[in-house]
Structure 1
Amino acid sequence: MKIVFYSLLIPVLLTSVTVIQRPGTPGALTQTDTTHAPPAVLPGVYADPHIAVFDKKFYIYPTTDGTEGWKSTNFSCWSSSDLVHWKNEKVILDLPKDLTWAKERAWAPAIAHKNGKYYYYFSADVNIGVAVARKPTGPFKDALGKPLVRRGMLAGQMIDPMVFVDDDGAAYLYFGQGRCNMVKLANDMVSFDSTKIVSIKPQGYNEGPFVFKRKGKYYLMWSEYDTRDPRYSVAYATADAPLGPFTKAATGPVLKGRGVVKGAGHHSVVKVPGKDEWYIVYHRFKIPDGNGYNRETCISPMRFDDRGNILPVDVFETVNPVSIPR
Structure 2
Amino acid sequence: MKKLTSLLALLASCTLSGFAQTDTTKAPAPVLPGVYADPNIAVFGNRFYIYPTTDGTEGWQSTYFTCWSSADLVQWKDEGKILDLPRDLTWAAARAWAPTIGTKNGKYYYYYAADTNIGVAVADKPTGPFKDPLGKPLIKRGMFKGQMIDPAVFTDDDGSSYLYWGNGSCHVVKLNEDMISYDSTKIVSFKPQDYNEGPFVIKRKGIYYLMWSEFDTRDPRYSVWYATSTSPLGPFVKAPGGPILKGRGVVKGAGHHSVVQVPGKDEWYIAYHRFKIPDGNGYNRETCISSLHFDDKGNILPVDVFEEIKPVEIKE
- Fold match by TM threshold 0.5: yes
Give 2:98's aligned residue: 108
Greater radius of gyration (CA): 1
- Which residue number in structure 2 is paired with residue 296 of structure 1? 286
> In structure 1, what is the equivalent of residue 155 of structure 2?
165
The equivalences for 1:199-214 within 5 A come to 199-214=189-204
Deviations 1:193-233 (A, max 9, x none): 11111111101100000001001100000000000000000
Q: Does 1:193 align with 2:183?
A: yes
What is the letter of the counterpart of residue 43 of structure 2?
V
Higher helix share: 2
* Aligned partner of residue 97 in structure 1, secondary structure: helix
Q: Could you tell me how far apart the structure 1 residues matched to 2:76 and 2:153 are?
A: 24
CA displacement at 1:115 relative to structure 2? 1.3
Q: Does 1:233 align with 2:195?
A: no
Deviations 1:139-179 (CA, angstroms, capped at 9, x unpaired): 00002100000000111100000110101010101000000
Stretches of structure 2 that go unaligned for 5 or more consecutive residues are 1-14
How do 1:111-260 residues align onto structure 2 when only pairs under 5 Å count? 111-260=101-250
Amino acid at match of 1:94: D
Q: Does structure 1 residue 76 correspond to structure 2 residue 102? A: no
Give the aligned partner of residue 277 of structure 2.
Answer: 287
Whichever residue aligns with residue 124 of structure 2, its letter is R
Letter in 2 for 1:191: S
Structure 1 counterpart SS, 2:300: coil
Q: Secondary structure at the match of 1:44?
A: coil
- Structure 1 residue 56: deviation in Å? 1.1
Residue in 2 that maps onto 1:49: 39
Separation in 2, partners of 1:28, 1:238:
25
Q: Determine the C-alpha separation between the residues in 2 that align with 1:257 and 1:106.
A: 25
Tell me the matched-pair count. Answer: 301
User: Which residue in 2 is equivalent to 1:262?
Assistant: 252
The AA in structure 1 aligned to 2:51 is Y
Is 1:316 aligned to 2:306, yes or no?
A: yes
* Offset from partner CA, 1:68-87 (integer Å, 9 cap, x none): 00000000000000000000
Q: Distance in 2 between matches of 1:92 and 1:44?
A: 18
Please give the root-mean-square deviation of Cα atoms over the aligned residues, in Å.
0.9
- Structure 1 residue 33 displacement after superposition: 1.0
Higher share of residues assigned strand: 1
Amino acid in structure 2 at the alignment position of 1:255: L
Q: Secondary structure at the match of 2:72?
A: coil
Give the share of equivalent positions with the same residue, in percent: 76
Q: Among residues 18, 25, 41, which one is paired with 1:29 in the alignment?
A: 18
CA distance in 1, matches of 2:206, 2:255: 25
For residue 325 of structure 1, report the CA deviation from its aligned partner.
1.3
State the Cα deviation string for residues 271-291 of structure 1 (Å, max 9, x = none): 001111100000000000000
Report the CA distance between 1:28 and its aligned residue.
3.6
Cα distance, 1:27 vs structure 2? 3.8
Partner secondary structure for residue 63 of structure 1: strand
Q: Distance in 2 between matches of 1:244 and 1:141?
A: 32
**Cα deviations by residue, 1:73-121 (Å, 9 ceiling, x for unpaired):** 0000000000000000000000000000000000000000011100000
Q: Matches of 2:142 and 2:172 in 1, distance apart?
A: 16
Deviation at 1:124, TM superposition (A): 0.1
SS in 1 for 2:313: coil
User: One-letter code of the match for 1:148?
Assistant: L
Consecutive unaligned residues of structure 1, counting only runs of 5 or more, are 1-25
Decide which of 246, 251, 272 is 2:262's aligned counterpart.
272
